[in-house]
Amino acid sequence: MTVETAIRIISLEESKDRRTVFSQHVSGLGLDWSFFPAYKDVVPPLGYNDRDVTRRFGRGLFSPEIGAYVSHYKCWEWLVNSEYDQAIILEDDVLVDWPAITQLTQCNLSSYGIELLRMFATHPIKSKIIMYRFLSPHCHLVRTIGMYLGMQGYMLTKAGARRFVEKYPNITSPIDLVMTRYWEHKLENYSLFPFPIIEQYGPSVIGPRDSVTKTISLLDRAIRFCWRIRDRAKREYFDRWTMKRWPLGPTIDVGPAFINIARKS
């Protein structure tokens, strides 16, 4: 059964230079891609309350963080209502290994029990190899435990997008921390090693980093402290008792690429 995969690049409509450069790299590859308009402010059905965010995250969000959350959420919303089975969602400031991405567009993630495949992290991640040679002899599938920061690129199924849209209409933290919370939304964080994309260095074009929170009350600090303890306990329980050790079966670092074998079977 053929899987329908879209590629959407989140980009401000006024970012002409970025769009031009990105288009030069992807045009002519025969991929189903287009730009998805980025947002700068909160729009329905999303909601933002600075105090709620402070009680979860410790401070109000910067303007770029709010814009990123809204942009990615609206892209998830689009996927849920589209004819596509899955989408590769990228930001416009990344360098892409297009042969790897082309292979991924032909890969039905849901058939492997994967709804979210992240492609870049801004900080070191704790991970375990789940399948050697997943995409090629030198590209392995890993599953992360704990924090996974960075939303510059990822692959998401329609089922995964629906889960995010239904569960996170209220903004309480940056978007990458929402995606990280596998113990809450039950979408385990898989990734590829090495990453198929990297972020180019440069300032955000969505807005300045001006947090709206000036001071944090003792009550808000106490509420956040208690929430963090409960949340960490939930994560530890999920890591120890819920995660399957080998979700795709045992793996060894020999033989052809896993997805090539899977396609023939």
Supply the CATH number for residue 108's domain: 3.90.550
Q: Which stretches of the chain are DSSP H helices?
A: 16-26, 50-57, 63-80, 98-105, 158-167, 175-180, 182-185, 218-237, 258-264
- Cβ distance 215 to 106 under 8 Å? no
| pLDDT value of residue 155 | 99
| pLDDT value of residue 257 | 87
| pLDDT value of residue 234 | 98
| pLDDT value of residue 203 | 63
Q: What is the tally of structural domains in the chain? A: 1
Cα angle at 235 between 154 and 161, to 5 degrees? Answer: 30
Within 13 Å, how many C-alpha atoms sit on residue 210's CB side?
3
Task: Please tell me whether the peptide bond between 45 and the residue prior to it is cis, using omega within 30 degrees of 0.
Answer: yes
- Angstrom distance (rounded) from CA 41 to CA 22: 24
| pLDDT value of residue 85 | 99
- Residues 6 or more apart in contact with residue 159 via CB below 8 angstroms: 110, 115
Specify the 3-state DSSP secondary structure of 128: strand
| pLDDT value of residue 226 | 98
Task: Please tell me whether the peptide bond between 194 and the residue prior to it is cis, using omega within 30 degrees of 0.
Answer: yes
Tell me which residue range forms the domain holding 148.
5-264
Residue pLDDT tens, the chain, 265 long = 689 999 999 999 999 999 999 999 999 999 999 999 999 999 999 999 999 999 999 999 999 999 999 999 999 999 999 999 999 999 999 999 999 999 999 999 999 999 999 999 999 999 999 999 999 999 999 999 999 999 999 999 999 999 999 999 999 999 999 999 999 999 999 999 999 999 997 666 555 556 565 689 999 999 999 999 999 999 999 999 999 999 999 999 998 888 877 666 6
- Angstrom distance (rounded) from CA 226 to CA 139: 40
Read off the tokens for 93. 């400031």
| pLDDT value of residue 20 | 97
